[in-house]
Structure 1
Amino acid sequence: MRIGIIGTGTVGQTLGTKLVALGHEVTLGSRSKGNAAAADWAERSGPLAHPGTFAEAAAFGDLVVNATSGTVALAAVELAGAENLAGKTLLDVSNPLVFSPTGEVTLDPVNDDSVGERLQRALPDTKVVKALNTVNCEVMVDPGRVPGAHQLFVAGDDADGKARVVALLTEFGWPAADILDLGGIDAARSLEMLMPFWLRLMRHYGHADFNYSIRTAR
């Protein structure tokens, strides 16, 4: 499959490297042409990896990943172009984390809105699916870093879009039974609000190789 990734940071490069290893062709998109991070990643990753702009990555991909920060995600997809994303599935892995000068973390938006919902409103012809934002990028592509059964969550208004994302997640090694569908894209609010708690857990454990394991009586 052809996959476009919007964002050249650690998350985007980690996802891109895994996707190329799985045999997918990937364009890693940056804000401007000739971005050094995208070019270096493509050179390291082989013939299935390409550098590009946000717009080129969006146009290239049959499925597109938003791997930018949640606070700039809307601006990034605007540069990517709604016409390049129309009819496609957009996997949003972002979190709207805002760090104060003293290190305190807040979210923007929060509670009555989410990045996932804002992206869906901005891209009515795109199937926005929220997933993977509740784990570290290394765990995203290698769930075996955390022993035992543990869960991922997906949210989105389009069933076909979610099915495409779930299929991709199973390629990463996530068992389908451990991927929980939380319903519409409004569920992105609760998924994004997990992140301050996740950061507290990371400080507690001293590493990011952990995840949530949901137990139920039925």
Structure 2
Amino acid sequence: MTTIAVLGKGRVGGNLARALTRAGHEVTVADRTPGAAADAARAAPVVINATPGAGSIERLSALRAELRGKILVDVSNATVDGPDGLPARLIHPGSSLAEQLQEALPETRVVKTLNTMLFPVMTAPASLTQSPTAFLSGQDPEAKQTVRELLADLGWRQEWVTDLGGIETARATEAAVLFVPHVMRSSGFAPFAVSITR
């Protein structure tokens, strides 16, 4: 059992919190208020960033002391939305939210994952007709191994998880969010994920 703090009470955070609780972990969910987030982060060795990506850096930078030495699992994408509310462009072109978080939080071990799919797939990968891929990006091998184990608890088979390397590889996975509006306009709000087939 791992103690996990989920920052963000929206669809993504709530979905992850429920699934991780069912898997036997002790999960605290905090909203975006500084006090609640600080209390949750302070008590947990693993913190999941499920806050809206546009404000994540400012929000999490304020938790620098609480996040020191912790694993920060970043599942968010930082985008500017178009008139229809869907992602239109990246906030950090040429970089990524994960890289910016790692730079702002040098004593925190940031791991990027689960950001290349609609949120229902994060906790039910086997529900798709083909095997999805969960990518890992991060500097710390031990942190990535911990995240692999959490992914397994969410139903991800190990062969569905691909370690891309350092935190800079999150640029590629975060750019995949630009597929989302086009796929949704053509197919509707049906769960999907990026998949690497071999």
Give TM-score scaled by structure 2 length: 0.93
- Aligned match of 2:22: 21
Q: Post-superposition, which runs of at least 4 consecutive aligned residues in structure 1 deviate over 6 A? A: none
For residue 2 of structure 1, what is the amino acid of its counterpart?
T
**Does the CA-based 8 Å contact 2:98-2:112 persist in structure 1?**
yes
- Aligned match of 1:172: 154
**Does the CA-based 8 Å contact 1:27-1:60 persist in structure 2?**
no
**Within-5 A mapping of 1:104-183:** 105-110=88-93, 112-183=94-165
Offset, 1:119: 0.4
Q: In 2, distance between residues paired with 1:173 and 1:73?
A: 27
- Aligned match of 1:195: 177
**Does the CA-based 8 Å contact 2:102-2:110 persist in structure 1?**
yes
SS at match of 2:54: coil
Aligned length: 196
**Gaps (5+ residues) in structure 1?**
34-51
**Gaps (5+ residues) in structure 2?**
none
Q: In 1, distance between residues paired with 2:196 and 2:8?
A: 31
Larger Rg: 1
**Within-5 A mapping of 1:207-218:** 207-216=189-198
**Does the CA-based 8 Å contact 1:5-1:16 persist in structure 2?**
yes
- Aligned match of 1:71: 54
Q: What percent identity do the matched residue pairs reach?
A: 39
The alignment's C-alpha RMSD in Å is: 1.6
Q: In 2, distance between residues paired with 1:211 and 1:102?
A: 21
SS at match of 1:71: helix
Give TM-score scaled by structure 1 length: 0.85
Offset, 1:102: 5.9
